[in-house]
Amino acid sequence: MTDPKIGILAYGAYLPQRRLQRSAIYAANSWFAPDLRGLAKGEKAVASWDEDAITMAVEAARDALTGLDRAELGSLSLASTTLPFADRLNSGVVKEALNLNDAIGASDATGSQRCGTSALIQALHGAAENRKPQLCIASDLRKAAPASGDELTNGDASAALLVGHGEVIARFLGAHSVTIDFVDHFRASGVDFDYGWEARWVRQEGHLKIAGGALTSALEDLGVAAGEIDHCVIAITGRGAGPAIAKRAGIAPEAVHDPLVATIGDAGAAHSTLMLAAALEKAKPGEKILLLDFGQGADVLLFEATEAIASLPSRNGVAGSLALGKSVDNYMRYLFHRCILPLERGARAEFDQKQPSTTLYRNRKGVLGLVGGRCTKTGTVQFPKSEIGVNPNDHAAGTQEDYPLAEVPARIMSYTADRLTYSPDPPAYYGAVDFDGGGRITVEFTDLEGADVEVGCEMKMVFRIKAVDEMRHNYRYFWKAAPRT
């Protein structure tokens, strides 16, 4: 019997703003692969050049932590099959961006499409011993070969779940896992694209037998009848797979959730967490939510929504993120931002992007966490924080305290649209923004698709890739300003 006070405390999600129309992809490749016509409907979420699994994870985590005290967190995990670093703690970058305490555990989970649910199960089981909440984030941004089925179906997304002991919005009723080295697809280290096996074999042997068998066994082990499931979340995006698996287990068709393929695409390791977040948005107190994830076996988790779900503070979540989408059809830009199509970038792109690790370490709160300073004597806010204050009437020394700015609304004070400097997404917009309550910073702007940029526009700060160090295969991160929506 599981502790009724252990479960999900909050959830969040993030989708990149751009929604690439699948018809644009098909139009460019139909001369070579006309058989892809059946996949050319709908759209998929695509990240910009300055987004990756880390930046998307930060945004999903910020959404999940809406209205909560971050100082209470005990640990965080980041699950992804597309982590930018093979030997650097990716979740450690997320921790810094969220401005969490140094005395916190962090871990990366990878190696399978179900690494997100596997990390979630570990966190839930560990909640009985560690009473501090644990943040479980899943994020994926996968490449796909042009003119492939994956190119049309893959989407970019992230989702986060805060789990632990307390006033949960969905209590954890149990989990069941099976592990089988069933290789439906694979990607070796250092390789860009997945290699997949024949779809019919994957569906029959993998989805219906392995995943379906795991679902049936889970219902038996957890002592739950199929008819008791109100929300059946099957994170398998193959056409008709979810309903077929649910039908074999005796779960009602109306309980099966939309796999979100038409509007987002297959988000890889993040898809199960994303679908669970979407189900939580619709769940009512007392309803049971079953989640099935697949990848070299299967994970099945069972939750029951509580009364607390109705009082959760408002957040973007999946529905809100979907509503913020901007339809685009620039397939060439998509290929360039994925580093699939090389373009002549010109001499202005030829400069060293090295970031000294010593400087980053000493200034990590400012660079990664956007933590400025506030003078305790005059109340003046500034960025960056310094030993001597910037107040012209009182240059007080040694009086500044940390002042996080990432969540503070801002407005454009001045801006420039520059086509002379190099940008992967020209023109390069940058300018000065003033924070509510004081403080000013000059930053790049992002997410301007279809937005009107004017002095006085409300902006929000978002964590993004600042530059790519191609010589050393490193990524520089900083904060940018995006239109507040």
What does the block give as tokens for 384?
């960056």
Phi and psi (nearest 5°) for 378? -105, -15
Is the backbone peptide bond immediately before 427 cis, with ω within 30 degrees of 0?
A: yes
Homologous superfamily (CATH) of 6-337 is Thiolase/Chalcone synthase (3.40.47.10)
For every one of its 485 residues, what pLDDT tens digit does the chain have, with 9 covering 90 and above?
578 899 999 999 999 999 999 999 999 999 999 999 999 999 999 999 999 999 999 999 999 999 999 999 999 999 999 999 999 999 999 999 999 999 999 999 999 999 999 999 999 999 888 879 999 999 999 999 999 999 999 999 999 999 999 999 999 999 999 999 999 999 999 999 999 999 899 999 999 999 999 999 999 999 999 999 999 999 999 989 999 999 999 999 999 999 999 999 999 999 999 999 999 999 999 999 999 999 999 999 999 999 999 999 999 999 999 999 999 999 999 999 999 999 999 999 988 999 999 999 999 999 999 999 999 999 999 999 999 999 999 988 999 999 999 999 999 999 999 999 999 999 999 999 999 999 999 999 999 987 889 999 999 999 999 999 999 999 999 999 999 98
What does the block give as tokens for 340?
């699939």
User: Residue 211 CA to chain centroid, in angstroms?
Assistant: 25
Among candidate residues 298, 296, 303, the one with its CA nearest the CA of residue 277: 303
In 121-206, DSSP assigns E strands to 134-140, 157-165, 170-179, 185-186, 195-196
Q: Give the pTM.
A: 0.97
Q: Which residues contact 453 (CB under 8 A, 6 or more apart)?
A: 412, 415, 417, 429, 445, 483
> What CATH class has 355-370+405-483?
mainly beta
Q: How far apart are CA 214 and CA 42, in angstroms?
A: 31
pLDDT at residue 1 in the model: 55
In 53-166, DSSP assigns E strands to 75-79, 105-109, 134-140, 157-165
Q: How far apart are CA 118 and CA 273, in angstroms?
A: 11
- Residues constituting the chain: 485
pLDDT at residue 452 in the model: 83
3-state secondary structure 459-480: EEEEEEEEEEECCCCEEEEEEE
Q: How far apart are CA 53 and CA 90, in angstroms?
A: 9
- Residue 124 corresponds to which amino acid? L
DSSP state of 455: T
Q: Which residues contact 102 (CB under 8 A, 6 or more apart)?
A: none
What does the block give as tokens for 91?
């979740």
Q: How far apart are CA 256 and CA 278, in angstroms?
A: 12
pLDDT at residue 4 in the model: 84
- Residue 352 corresponds to which amino acid? D
Q: Please state the domain extents for the chain.
A: 6-337, 355-370+405-483
Among candidate residues 136, 1, 9, the one with its CA nearest the CA of residue 60: 136
What does the block give as tokens for 317?
């979540």
- Evaluated on CA atoms 236, 241, 245, 247, the torsion sign reads positive
> 474-483 and 75-79 as β-strands: parallel, antiparallel, unpaired?
unpaired
